[in-house]
Amino acid sequence: MNHLMFYCRPGFEKDMAAEIQDKAVALECFGFSRVVDNSGFVLYECYGESDAEKLARRLPFRELIFARQMLVMFKQLSGLDLQDRITPIVEALEGMPEFGELRVETADTNEAKELSTFCRKFSVPLRQALRSAGKLSGEENDRRPVLHLFFLKNDTVWLGYSYPNNNSPYLMGIPRLRFPSDAPSRSTLKLEEAFYMFIPVEDDEYRLCSGLTAVDLGASPGGWTYQLVKRGMMVTAVDNGPMAEALMETGQVKHVMEDGFKYRPTKKNPYWLVCDMVEKPARITHLIAQWFRDGLCQEAIFNLKLPMKKRYAEVEHNLAVLKEWLTELEGDYVIQAKQLYHDREEITVHVYDERKLARRRSGAFN
């Protein structure tokens, strides 16, 4: 088999397929996608022998926008005996090297909810069996490939592997975040996930720390502001809508009732610009580009709300426009984009200047 498998948000399979088509061709790995609407995954069948393997190593997972996980699929087992699913799975691994980790997974769809309970339970005896058969190491943080079992039905499973240096570290590619009970909106999890996704933890002490300032455009009722306040920042929250009282009582928030497209900092520029305004992607892209052009912030995280159709094309267009603006500026700008688990019809984008960040990093450690 020469298939790559991608997990994605159900409903975004066509966008995932368009993206992989584009990026695999750029690496000269030609093939075609098999797409089932709302299945939560896409299969990319490569024409060239070992191209799936090549892509799994060379296509940077971090740069994929719609993928939650990327793996090489090597076996499909169906019609499993429900009394003993373990034996054929162990047999299917004949000739394969030892894996570093096991993940028993399923699609992130309503239909598969029951299956995911089964997967959780099944992983315990299977892990034991694989260890006894010498197919799974017992060590923590093993850097060998991760074995994925993707259950389609209770008697049908696909086997694949991913590389720990080029995959999502989470089961089903989904980070499990707990909703903080005192946060004013569920949107708070979007910014929290974005911080996990884009900011290495070791950078938190100088990129997500107290003493920094932030502007939050489209802030009401305050889910994103909450994340910034929690990290000790002073926040200017721009929105005509109300902000949660508890946030205002922290003394860390200044509420400005103004149009987010017109607002600009008057005294000191903030470190962070975050923006969750519901608007056309082109307008948001233009606004963010202006902030960087005018040197008004150091880092930005913002959402692009996507249209109903041709969402990958829309994303690529806007990211290209932004890139063009940033190339004109002095600096070494990085743009990262991802459809996060907590995103719905949107993606999250992160922009920063690598040169400025390097200076900040060396300042922080000298």
Active-site residue, 280 included? no
Alpha-carbon gap, residue 91 to 110, rounded angstroms:
31
User: Using N-to-C axis directions, what is the helix angle for 311-327 and 281-293, rounded to 10°?
Assistant: 20
Looking at the Cβ atoms of 162 and 220, the one nearer to ligand SAM is 220
By CB under 6 A, name the one of 48, 134, 241, 307 that touches ligand SAM: 241
Candidate list 7, 224, 333, 341; residue touching ligand SAM; CB under 6 A: 224
Please tell me whether residue 160 binds ligand SAM under the rule CB under 6 A.
no
Q: Can residue 278 be called a binding residue for ligand SAM (CB under 6 A)? A: yes
Contact 119, 151 (CB under 8 A): yes
| Cβ 148 vs Cβ 76: under 8 Å | no
Candidate residues 40, 160, 223, 270; the one interacting with ligand SAM per rule CB under 6 A:
223
What angle do helix axes 188-198 and 223-230 make, rounded to 10 degrees? 50
Q: Applying CB under 6 A, does 221 fall inside the site for ligand SAM?
A: yes
DSSP line for 10-59: TT-HHHHHHHHHHHHHHTT--EEEEE-TTSSEEEEEESSTTHHHHHHHHS
Spatial separation of the C-alpha atoms in residues 120 and 126, rounded to whole Å: 10
Q: Does 254 bind ligand SAM (CB under 6 A)?
A: no
**Shortest-Cβ-distance residue relative to ligand SAM:** 223
Query: CA-CA distance, 283 to 270, in Å (whole number)?
Result: 21
Distance of closest approach, residue 130 Cβ to ligand SAM, in angstroms: 42
Residues between 166 and 195 with contacts to ligand SAM, criterion CB under 6 A? 184-185, 187-188
Q: Which one of 230, 305, 310, 356 is the catalytic residue?
A: 305
Residue type, 366: N
Q: 137: annotated binding-site residue?
A: no
- Least distance in angstroms from the C-beta of 110 to ligand SAM: 24
Among 209, 261, 296, 325, which residue sits at the site for ligand SAM (rule: CB under 6 A)?
A: 261
CA 5 to chain centre: 16
**Contact between 259 and ligand SAM (CB under 6 A)?**
yes
199 closest CA partner among 338, 56, 365, 6: 338
210 is in an annotated binding site: no
Catalytic amino acids?
Answer: 305
Instruction: Give residues in contact with ligand SAM (CB under 6 A).
Output: 184-185, 187-188, 218-224, 238-241, 259-261, 276-278
Binding-site members for S-adenosyl-L-methionine are 187, 220-223, 239, 259, 276
Binding-site members are 187, 220-223, 239, 259, 276
